Structure 1
């Protein structure tokens, strides 16, 4: 008889049914051994036969216990080497796809109880992706509000099954659940004003307070909004209002003798009529205060995948520090056991800092370190140093790079995929001179300790030179003066930037002294250049360099605007304009052509780097080829004339 997939499948069907019915795997094993002389694959037909028998059981609507026994039978078959190691989980996937959710929960208990089986070497490698897909499919079918317990079981199972450092179970890039939108009433006609008197203070709970309270949930689901100027002010205003109200409303906690359990809800109701009652609820207040602490911690923490522009200023950090202390005081005042609860929360958030650092380091595998005596550790460290090859090998095994320098090693391990990280839009920005050198200017005005001087930091100096080459007109000024060390040159440039800051008052009593200090750093040629620049800042053009086009004609402005109009927003982002400024261009100008014209006109008027050369460089980088060609032709025609 010629054996093929179909003939083996038919041959296996009767044998598998008999073997499962008798709960005797030897019957199936003997049949497989009798076919071992054939050269074709025996596992694939048997795997398909398992699924065929399962489908028949499902059609007969057998009880869950028999389905569990059938999956157990397939596990024993895998251990005997008769079928593929992925077969039990494939059968579970077929079962969950056909059962109702209530029956699925009973069946999932079987999956939980056999977590030790799935973690065996035989099953783990082949089954882990199938099990993850099975659990995710179940979570998509379940409601997070009505099936909270079942969803929790699935997540706990995944936590037990996967190793602690398994990246598929970690939110590596710190993404927020932006779909978690809190809806609340926006009709002011439903305004129900409530006044709460606490001592000499009176707190009004009206529609305005109601809107401020629930608007904070939008900041809690997406804290990155707080890094923009307008949203930060809004967040501070709403937070201060809510926390001051909490501070004014003292809570009383009444204990009950009966053993009733306290209910916790995944999401609170947002009706305005309930807000007065919610403000007097202990669990509600603790929930809101804990949200404040989590957001405050994120805003001031160093997060690996956070954009470099997402950094708070010193006054903003001070505000967060003050508000954090206020929140902890409110938690201590909230009964019952306020002091104990506040202490537990502080410990939990402190541990979160450790997990944050662990993620920043690339989630290295956590291993138990065997305890050794202090003498043996000292002896080992003194007699044997790790070889460079061993260090690189260890780094490669952890998916990391070792570059020999601490800063380079840190830079190369910021992102798992360095090429993709270089393409990130958040990396494509150019800070202003005032923003970047603000701290250095403050240090010049208020001297600090020598070891804290920012200008002597090599990393700061390297970035400063790159920024000066792009932003400062003084960087390429001809000079025979040799600045050694680098900190002296940077100090000279910082003093120039501080002297030329926009809005600097001419009545400043230190201006004469600053001019004298600048003159000490400049050679005679540089002083002559400075005087010429001050006398004729707007019209200074070197006739020997026809490519120095700081001006743009009306005809060029209209011509370039027509070319860039389809993609003017992409150019605006590259030029450093923020979303609210781009929205301003849209609101003020009805057409894309006029929006592009307004953008170019303001850029050439306000930005000292606004030249046709720089515009051509930027357009080529953005792959706006048609517009770049138009600018290039204008530059060439200028050269010819």
Structure 2
């Protein structure tokens, strides 16, 4: 009997699922699943997956039915009829198919079942799907219109993932530089909107002008990117703005909120007069981003919650500037004067918070406690965000009672898999590579220096010139001629001779070169044979050394190759000659005051030229210092290169001096080779 097709399985499961879902009887579906026989369970699971997804899309209007259907899918997963990912896949499908209002209602089900998703059975399989589903929702939402829903999603992710989950941590302490606060209007309108005085019941008066408005909102840029404060100019601007704002707060004291006796009296109050806690309780949500319209500044400065928000931002900034952060740059440090200013200003900020009603002192204590806890989190991040582990309470209790601890479950016996970053770190400490694959890891660790491994003798597949010329049959082939010329240029000086006539064929030229190499080899063998015969007649030589064997023939070949490659007639020997400080001092006067043009041509900037000038008193010393740095740092530096650059700059006298030095050094080098 042939196994059923996918469509047959789908129809069968659809009919059975409709019946079992209406009766809320998962066992009926399980019985049908076990009854059907297929070559592989994956065939049945694939059909059942599609059946779940098809039936869910028929229930988009009934939210309770959707939640019940997801629970039905969770039960099917526990009975191993489907993969653990199917409930989250169904949630992703329904979120894509309904409006945002219904998404917000359905997301309540996701939040309430966070314990289910955190079970070992579902977590490993579903965590990436849940993260992708939440990110898809966040892309659809507006941060200004759906603020609460966005916050609920982020809170769910914080509850679902452990603290040490890398995807939820700001490991390198980056700031959200895109959070820009825009403010300011046209200068012609500013005089009408600001330049007013605000007075409260205590007789305090605050003069609000455009200057105070700009300083107040300019502080938000430092809160967005605190690293600006490590710049001297930006620090002065921040200190001045913060001082002006706190002076304004100090000169304008706030009153205690007036109590209301009835709802009618409360309805007559303006939003700024109603305490923020009551506004939140009545509306259910609020926006943390304040408006920057100049007309609102006087009302905002009179609002206690607004003032507290700015003061707490200052305290958070002060804590960051004083804290040790692992990923801070080395130059991000404060002077003692700046540290003293922060301490003095911090006490002023706390004093203003205490004076801000209602319950100012209690709020200040809460802020201190919050910032002290923030220091603990900062230390945890500096230590690499180590994973939090619960103590084994059950094992300790059984040991205290004198009982044998219960054996661990089968899943706990499995050795935990180490994190990839830890494996790479341990391998690096041992001077090895970890590639994530055993075979790749073995290959990369065969030789610690990969560049040296590429230069090994076993990687040299280049044949010798003589074997290539003798072994090839198609000597008229253009590809053979091209390869032979490449080998000839690399291994023999004969490449530069005998090929002068335009009518000279390449094949004939290569044949003449082959004969020339054989002749040179025979001449060297004869010389070695003659030396061997002389040594045989010499009584001081050992016996049996007058004959030429196979090993000596190989040695002759290697000596011939060395003779061809290391001939003293090489014209480029001066390229490897080291230029001494005395020779640089000899060249410097010929360049003279034009050394700045040479420095610009060599790629040195204005600040580096200024460095040479500040370190050396005379023009000659400055030029000598430039040449010394260039010859030490530039891999391509040489006397030939210097002469070429000087000719291009039309500094002909200096170029001639370099050429004369090249000629003198080349003659000395040839004499040394001749003496050897």
TM-score range, shorter chain: 0.5 to 0.7
Indicate if the aligned counterparts of 1:176 and 1:222 stay in contact, CA closer than 8 A. yes
Question: Equivalent of 1:45, from 18, 22, 47?
Answer: 47
Indicate if the aligned counterparts of 2:204 and 2:252 stay in contact, CA closer than 8 A. no
Indicate if the aligned counterparts of 1:563 and 1:627 stay in contact, CA closer than 8 A. no
Q: TM-score with structure 1 length normalisation?
A: 0.62
Map residues 99-110 of structure 1 onto 2, 5 A cutoff.
Answer: 99-110=98-109
Deviation at 1:67, TM superposition (A): 1.5
Q: What is the distance in 2 between the residues matched to 1:21 and 1:200?
A: 73
Q: What is the distance in 2 between the residues matched to 1:315 and 1:196?
A: 35
2:147 paired residue number: 148
Q: What is the distance in 2 between the residues matched to 1:349 and 1:293?
A: 8
Q: Secondary structure at the match of 2:584?
A: coil
Could you say if the C-alpha distance between residues 256 and 631 of structure 1 is closer, same or farther in structure 2, counting changes exceeding 3 Å? farther
2:367 paired residue number: 345
2:352 paired residue number: 330
CA RMSD of aligned residues (A): 4.0
Deviation at 1:21, TM superposition (A): 3.5
Indicate if the aligned counterparts of 1:395 and 1:401 stay in contact, CA closer than 8 A. no
Map residues 188-227 of structure 1 onto 2, 5 A cutoff.
Answer: 188-189=187-188, 190-191=190-191, 192-195=194-197, 204-227=207-230
1:611 paired residue number: 626
Matched pairs, number: 449
1:602 paired residue number: 610
Could you say if the C-alpha distance between residues 81 and 601 of structure 1 is closer, same or farther in structure 2, counting changes exceeding 3 Å? same
Indicate if the aligned counterparts of 1:548 and 1:611 stay in contact, CA closer than 8 A. no
1:111 paired residue number: 110
1:280 aligned to 2:318? no
Indicate if the aligned counterparts of 1:616 and 1:628 stay in contact, CA closer than 8 A. no
Deviation at 1:303, TM superposition (A): 0.7
Q: Deviations over 1:475-503 (max 9, x none)?
A: xxxxxxxxxxxxxxxxxxxxxxxxxxxxx
Q: Deviations over 1:107-154 (max 9, x none)?
A: 001111111111111101011111111112212222223222222221
2:172 paired residue number: 173
Consecutive unaligned residues of structure 2, counting only runs of 5 or more, are 264-273, 281-285, 395-414, 430-578, 617-621, 647-654, 665-676
1:270 aligned to 2:292? yes
Q: What is the distance in 1 between the residues matched to 2:638 and 2:93?
A: 57
Indicate if the aligned counterparts of 1:560 and 1:627 stay in contact, CA closer than 8 A. no
Consecutive unaligned residues of structure 1, counting only runs of 5 or more, are 373-392, 410-540, 565-595
Map residues 569-608 of structure 1 onto 2, 5 A cutoff.
Answer: 598=606, 601-606=609-614
Indicate if the aligned counterparts of 2:84 and 2:121 stay in contact, CA closer than 8 A. yes
Q: What is the distance in 1 between the residues matched to 2:365 and 2:631?
A: 59
Could you say if the C-alpha distance between residues 210 and 341 of structure 1 is closer, same or farther in structure 2, counting changes exceeding 3 Å? same
Could you say if the C-alpha distance between residues 114 and 284 of structure 1 is closer, same or farther in structure 2, counting changes exceeding 3 Å? same
Q: What is the distance in 2 between the residues matched to 1:628 and 1:200?
A: 83
Question: Equivalent of 1:240, from 234, 243, 252?
Answer: 243
Q: What is the distance in 1 between the residues matched to 2:639 and 2:13?
A: 70
Q: What is the distance in 2 between the residues matched to 1:629 and 1:274?
A: 72
Could you say if the C-alpha distance between residues 634 and 286 of structure 1 is closer, same or farther in structure 2, counting changes exceeding 3 Å? same
Could you say if the C-alpha distance between residues 288 and 134 of structure 1 is closer, same or farther in structure 2, counting changes exceeding 3 Å? same
Question: Equivalent of 1:544, from 571, 574, 582?
Answer: 582
- Structure 1 stretch displaced more, 599-608 or 316-325: 599-608
1:76 aligned to 2:75? yes
Could you say if the C-alpha distance between residues 279 and 138 of structure 1 is closer, same or farther in structure 2, counting changes exceeding 3 Å? same
Q: What is the distance in 2 between the residues matched to 1:557 and 1:141?
A: 59
Q: Deviations over 1:554-601 (max 9, x none)?
A: 76654664675xxxxxxxxxxxxxxxxxxxxxxxxxxxxxxx764554
Q: TM-score with structure 2 length normalisation?
A: 0.59
1:14 paired residue number: 15
Q: What is the distance in 1 between the residues matched to 2:630 and 2:186?
A: 49
Could you say if the C-alpha distance between residues 35 and 631 of structure 1 is closer, same or farther in structure 2, counting changes exceeding 3 Å? farther
Q: What is the distance in 1 between the residues matched to 2:167 and 2:325?
A: 19
Q: What is the distance in 2 between the residues matched to 1:234 and 1:265?
A: 29
Q: What is the distance in 2 between the residues matched to 1:627 and 1:331?
A: 69
Q: What is the distance in 2 between the residues matched to 1:312 and 1:333?
A: 30
Indicate if the aligned counterparts of 2:204 and 2:253 stay in contact, CA closer than 8 A. no
1:505 paired residue number: none
2:26 paired residue number: 25
Q: Secondary structure at the match of 1:182?
A: coil
Indicate if the aligned counterparts of 2:56 and 2:90 stay in contact, CA closer than 8 A. yes
Q: Secondary structure at the match of 1:204?
A: strand
Question: Equivalent of 1:359, from 381, 404, 412?
Answer: 381
